[in-house]
Structure 1
Amino acid sequence: MIEDLDKALSRAQDVLASPESIRRICISGKAKGKQPEQVRIDIRPVALKAGLHWQVVSHDGKRDTTKNLALGELSLARLFNLGYSNILIESTSQEINLRLTKSGEAQFSTKRVELDAAELTHDRTKERLLSADDEIFIELGISDQNGKLKPSRSDKFIQVQEFLKILSHSLNEKRDKNQELKVIDLGCGHAYLTLAAHKYLSKQGYRVKTVGIDERQDSRKRNIALVEKLKMSKEITFQATKIANLELANFDIAIALHACDTASDDAISWAVKSGVEMILVAPCCHHDIQRQMKEAPAPWNIATRHGIINERVGDILTDSIRAGVLKILGYRTDIIEFVAGEHTPRNLMIRAFKTGAPAQRADIAELEQIITQWKIEPALMVRLKEELSVRLG
């Protein structure tokens, strides 16, 4: 039903009059021309010593921020008008969906359901997108045969969980789950992330087809045997080839976790040339530009005369240029910390979404200036020379 937005928001607010019946509320999506600071907001009732409150968890794609509001303090209209386009309210008896239309009105729908009441405990056990006793973690050797996480593999487990969290926050909720979702893992290694991403997306109701790419033939054989044992071989396949030699193909999501040095550039380049909609890359070492940094432009020599600082400046330059190139080529791009530093020193992620936006002259000027000042030739710019020439003019 299409109706006035204010009226629809008022109807949604009225449902909150019975907070004990609410299981969860999710505010997400971007209104046209808006850029909300948070990717999504999740709300649920919680029982505190002071009585029932609303727990509001805001996700910015990097970390979660939680605060508790008294029952009368929660305004769906105020939160929605920060720039969102969707509200989902799930109660014990109904599911309500409010979507903002292009005309600025609201599409309001309800569906009858029968669900158990929500868990109101404030300090719930920390939720994992995939639990440690999932069969893939057992077969990967991250958990023991009883499904208990091995202490020696906890860092890998947390890396995968945090990567999945970002993947979850980055998904377009408007995507039709009946449409096949194609995922490619570039430099998949032992397929930790390949299997975890596939399993998580499948659990969310997507029809997923996943391909893992690694140049080592022994990794391919091992991974094929693994998915056959898990009875997932029809959904997940593996190829043994270098990313640079991989034929272009149609995929929706490209992921790459710790592809070494210019292999990350190969992954980004392949994804751009293939027109991939979402790119999630967590680079590893950054030797390419570090080797080219023979002479730092003033006043940067105050930093680069120190070996460790010079190395980190090279890291920053490399990933900043990668993000800048992606932006010029029509991707909305940011660089985030995907996991705490104690779990891996290589904890930055480049996240890019294809928008097709035209290149901005200021962005082009910044990129050209930094290349000239440092007298460097970034590997990604070499690989995407033709694509950049079209944009740079």
Structure 2
Amino acid sequence: MFAPNFSFEQEQQFFLDIQQSIESQSFDRLILSQYKGELAQLEKMTFRQIELQGQATLSCLYHYPTQDMTKNYSIDEGLEKIAELLSQSKQANLFTLHKDVQLKKNKKKAMLSRQKKQAEATKIEQQHNREKHRYVQQQSPFLKHLGITDEKVQVIPSMARKWKQINKFIEIFSNAYEQIDASQQALNIVDFGSGKGYLTFALYDYLQAQNKTPLITGVELRSNLVEFCQQVADEVGFNHLDFFEGDVRSYSPEKLDVMIALHACDIATDFAIHTGIRLNASMIMCAPCCHKELRPQLKSPEVLQPMLQFGIHAGQQAEMLTDTLRALLLKAYGYETKVFEFVSLEHTSKNKMILATKRKDIQQPDEKIMQQIQALKEMYGIQKQSLELLLQDQMPIENIGCKC
């Protein structure tokens, strides 16, 4: 008569706890350690549940002595992988909303222990972890090259704000990306004013994780940043990420699916939006900066003169009017457009974003919206607005101002 295999029974019960925690949405993380399988030098594995394109996903971080690797699985595939790795690990720790479960195995027996904990504290921790890991993996090599993380893959304290900004940008992009036709495998993206490339690299990394082929060009005026970013792209193996020295006047893509221009100064934003509309981009993302064009033209309507006599109010009104006209022009040319507050990408108060997604192809701009634009211009005495002139082929490409 054979003795019962208590180790197997305890392992099965532990695996059942994992399944139940995922089904009840109380799963936080799973750590498998003291690995004894065939994968050379693998030390431990950390599983977390994240969201990719609105789908629940199990993300596993494989820890090796000299590097870490991340792989994402569907829930069913992830559970199969967990079952396989669990049988090859001597210790497993499951952290859930309601309890912690530990499984320890040796040659003779297996020990399974459970410890209840305060649900609210764990819920906060779970939400915090999911927010951190949802869009950009902290272990991504490019983050270390750009100075976001250190040798231990921890976010450098002085870059914590930048890390938050990167994740916020990808979150916004991800939500908009779900609304456009994302069936195509390759995506042509241009980032005007890419700077040190924080968001450009993060976007490439994110799209790769979605099994897409991102074809991204970062356009930047400063040659030292172009050289630096291209070197990093080569080192981390981002083979379809290129950097070009120039601006919206000197770089003219033949095909464009997504146009990004964050903190393009003054009417450089208008040139960038015009490029997106002209090339029928599916998505346009702008964070306007240094609104200067309309302020000298602004004539206060009589009813607003008591308010706009103060310079700060007149400046705020000119900024709001500038971005309203841009948003309306995008709507007139077939884009669903949103204007909202965005986490500042640099240490600046310029944190507004214009996000537009293509909804329909048109032959002529919407007449009703164009009438609204004309009424606003007449109300404030505006004679010239660059984006409107560009769309009407009435404005040559000229000096588009400073780069901030």
CA contact (8 A) 2:258 2:281 kept: yes
User: Is 1:194 matched up with 2:194?
Assistant: no
Q: Report how far residue 331 of structure 1 moved.
A: 0.7
Q: Structure 1, residues 267-307: CA drift from partner, whole Å, max 9, x if none?
A: 111111111111111112211222322x2122222222111
User: Is 1:354 matched up with 2:361?
Assistant: no
Q: Percent identity?
A: 26
CA distance in structure 2 between the aligned counterparts of 1:298 and 1:305, rounded to whole angstroms: 11
CA distance 1:236–1:346, change in 2 (3 Å)? same
Q: 1:271 aligns with which of 272, 276, 287?
A: 276
CA distance in structure 2 between the aligned counterparts of 1:342 and 1:216, rounded to whole angstroms: 17
Q: Report how far residue 352 of structure 1 moved.
A: 0.5
Q: Report how far residue 119 of structure 1 moved.
A: 6.7
Q: 1:48-59 to 2 correspondence within 5 Å? A: none
> Where does residue 178 of structure 2 map in the other structure?
172
Q: Structure 1, residues 197-253: CA drift from partner, whole Å, max 9, x if none?
A: 111111122111111111232322222122122222x21011112202322421211
Q: 1:127-276 to 2 correspondence within 5 Å? A: 127-128=132-133, 129-172=135-178, 179-232=185-238, 234-276=239-281
CA distance in structure 2 between the aligned counterparts of 1:173 and 1:365, rounded to whole angstroms: 28
CA distance 1:155–1:88, change in 2 (3 Å)? closer
CA distance in structure 2 between the aligned counterparts of 1:180 and 1:291, rounded to whole angstroms: 44
CA distance in structure 2 between the aligned counterparts of 1:212 and 1:240, rounded to whole angstroms: 9
CA contact (8 A) 2:180 2:283 kept: no
CA distance in structure 1 between the aligned counterparts of 2:272 and 2:346, rounded to whole angstroms: 26
Q: 1:325 aligns with which of 325, 329, 335?
A: 329
Structure 2: where are the runs of 5+ without partners? 1-17, 28-52, 59-74, 84-93, 98-122, 396-404
CA distance in structure 1 between the aligned counterparts of 2:231 and 2:78, rounded to whole angstroms: 42
TM-score (norm 1): 0.66
Q: Report how far residue 365 of structure 1 moved.
A: 1.5
CA distance in structure 2 between the aligned counterparts of 1:338 and 1:361, rounded to whole angstroms: 30
CA distance in structure 1 between the aligned counterparts of 2:216 and 2:230, rounded to whole angstroms: 12
CA contact (8 A) 1:329 1:387 kept: no
CA distance 1:140–1:297, change in 2 (3 Å)? same
Q: 1:372 is aligned with what amino acid?
A: E
CA contact (8 A) 1:22 1:90 kept: no
> Where does residue 285 of structure 2 map in the other structure?
280
> Where does residue 51 of structure 1 map in the other structure?
none
CA contact (8 A) 1:281 1:350 kept: yes
Q: 1:65-144 to 2 correspondence within 5 Å? A: 113=77, 115=79, 120-121=96-97, 122-123=123-124, 124=126, 125=129, 126-128=131-133, 129-144=135-150
Q: Report how far residue 387 of structure 1 moved.
A: 9.8
CA contact (8 A) 1:244 1:270 kept: no
CA contact (8 A) 1:214 1:243 kept: no
Cα RMSD of the aligned pairs, angstroms, is: 3.4
CA distance in structure 1 between the aligned counterparts of 2:249 and 2:264, rounded to whole angstroms: 12
CA distance 1:45–1:260, change in 2 (3 Å)? same
CA distance in structure 2 between the aligned counterparts of 1:363 and 1:176, rounded to whole angstroms: 28
Q: Structure 1, residues 141-184: CA drift from partner, whole Å, max 9, x if none?
A: 22233322222222222221111000111113785666211211
CA distance in structure 2 between the aligned counterparts of 1:198 and 1:290, rounded to whole angstroms: 37
Q: Report how far residue 45 of structure 1 moved.
A: 2.2
Q: Report how far residue 190 of structure 1 moved.
A: 1.3
Structure 1: where are the runs of 5+ without partners? 1-18, 25-43, 48-85, 92-110, 389-393
> Where does residue 105 of structure 2 map in the other structure?
none
TM-score (norm 2): 0.65
Higher Rg of the two aligned structures: 2
User: Is 1:378 matched up with 2:346?
Assistant: no
Q: Structure 1, residues 317-361: CA drift from partner, whole Å, max 9, x if none?
A: 111111000000111111122227997412111110112265444
> Where does residue 300 of structure 2 map in the other structure?
296
Q: 2:212 is aligned with what amino acid?
A: Y
User: Is 1:364 matched up with 2:373?
Assistant: no
CA contact (8 A) 1:260 1:284 kept: yes
CA distance in structure 1 between the aligned counterparts of 2:138 and 2:220, rounded to whole angstroms: 25
Q: 2:217 is aligned with what amino acid?
A: V
> Where does residue 64 of structure 1 map in the other structure?
none
Question: Aligned residues, how many?
Answer: 295
The more displaced of 128-137 and 198-207 is 128-137
CA distance in structure 2 between the aligned counterparts of 1:333 and 1:366, rounded to whole angstroms: 15
CA distance in structure 2 between the aligned counterparts of 1:265 and 1:343, rounded to whole angstroms: 23
Q: Report how far residue 114 of structure 1 moved.
A: 6.0
